[in-house]
Each structure stands twice: as C-alpha cells, then as structure tokens.
Amino acid sequence: MFAPAPIRQTGSGGPGWRRGQEQQRKACIQLQMQVPACIAKSNPNSVQRTRSYGDLTRRRILEAAERVFSRDGFQGATTREIAREAQVNEVTLFRHFRTRDELVRETILYRTIAPEDLVGPKAPWQSDLAGQLEQYVRKYYTALLDRESLVRAVVGEGRLLPPAVRQAVLEKMAPMRAALIERLQAAKKAGCIRPNVDLGCAVDILRDTVHTGMLRHTMYGPGDYSVDTYLRTVVAIFIQGVRKP
C-alpha cells in the first residue's frame, strides 16, 4: 500500500525522465522511512526493549572495561580487547562511548555508592559519633574492597590519566567528601568535636587511612589482627584526635 504512483516518462534521458527517476527515488526513501514508523506504532514496546538492550550492552562493556583496565592497566588496555571481553565489536563500543577517555571515566565512576548511602542521615551523628563513624568506615572499606583491582590501577596510573578524566572523577567524588564533612559539622555543633578541628583535613586523613589499609590487607593480609580490629582502632584514634575535652 506504500507503492508510489507510476510516473509518466517523457523520453529516455530527457529532463522529464530524470525528474521521474528523482521522484521514484524520493518515493522509495519515504517508503523506507514509513515502514519502521508503522512497525513502531503497531508495537509501542519495541522502543523500550531497544533501550533496555542498549542499557544491558553498556553495562556489559563497563564491566568488561573494569576487568581489562584492572588486569592490563589504563595504559596497556585497548578498546579492541575490551570489546572482545564484552563480546561486542568496537563499533558498538564507540556507539556507547564516543572516546576512549570517556570509557575510562565512566568505568571508574561505574557502581560508585551514593553519598547518602555511605554516611546515612544527619541526626544520629549528633548523638552517636563513634557508631556512625564505624558504620561509615566499614561501608567505605567494603566499597573499596569490592573494586580492589581497579582501585590499584587508579592508584598506580592515576597521575597518567588525562586531566579531563581526573577532573571528572574528582567532581564525582566531591559530594561524598562533602556529605561526610556535613555530618561532622553536625557533630561539632552538638559539642562532640573541638571547634578548631579542620574537618576537611580530618575527613581526608580518615578516608586515606581506610583506603591504605584495604590495599595493604589485600596485598599482605591483615597481619596479627583482624580487619575488624583495624577499622575499630581507626575510629577510636580518629575520635580521640577530634573529640572535645
């Protein structure tokens, strides 16, 4: 029912004939455009299925990229190997990620925990600083441990990453740092922390201690104490350093 009406030719090769051929070509193009539209109208779920399939492919590429970057490093990994690991071709990979830098950035940021999930609501920090800090360091340690291989790759090659990638990662991580500072500010207002404590510096020290501990434990083992003892001791020393007399 989409067939174009026959076009009367005025002579082979003449202007009228060429116009007829052009109209035929346009009619064929319109027909090709109409068919997918009719299919989409007859099946409204097709677009949603396409998006879901695209999301699954993107996730598969990100998970493959994390494995390859962790194994080969950011400098040694290739998009060809990542595509092979994800069981897609490179054209599909670059359809989801326009550049290699974008793929690196999104892989690092993939599966990051939300700030509110990491630090919890503000109110309990005013009355139970030790308990909230212990929950935080355990969640943070677990999140790092879950991606330990990639964390090592970032530590080893982070300074070699493109500046735009490093900046994007910092901007993504900033809300997590800010959320913890905000919780400690609430504890400070409640009188749990000394007024002269630099909370930004304190937060960096706490996070770096947990980060370094995870790397050392996964390389050498926890030693003559457990990870649980390590985390509880980190919290105890931190509170001793910031507590208001």
Collect all residues with Cβ–Cβ distance below 8 Å to 30 and sequence separation of at least 6. 4
CB atoms within 10 A of CB 17: 15
| Residues β-bridged to residue 232 | none
Helix axes 148-157, 129-146, angle to 10 degrees: 80
Ordered domains of the chain (ranges, CATH): 15-110 (1.10.10.60), 115-242 (1.10.357.10)
Q: What angle separates helix 45-76 from helix 148-157, to the nearest 10 degrees?
A: 50
Calculate the alpha carbon distances from 188 to 89, 108, 237, 241 in Å: 54, 33, 17, 13
Q: What is the pTM of this model?
A: 0.77
pLDDT mean over 220-234: 95
Residue 30 pLDDT > 60, yes or no? no
Cβ within 8 Å of residue 208, ≥6 positions away: none
pLDDT digits (tens, 9 = 90+) for 73-125: 999 999 999 999 999 999 999 999 999 999 999 999 998 889 999 999 999 99
The pLDDT of residue 8 is 44
Instruction: Look up residue 225 and give its DSSP letter.
Output: S
How far out from the chain centre does Cα 169 lie?
9
Q: What's the rounded Cα separation, in Å, for the pair 242 and 245?
A: 9
- pLDDT over 90 (residue 51): no
47-51, 179-183, 186-190: which has the minimum mean pLDDT?
47-51
237: tokens are 């020393």
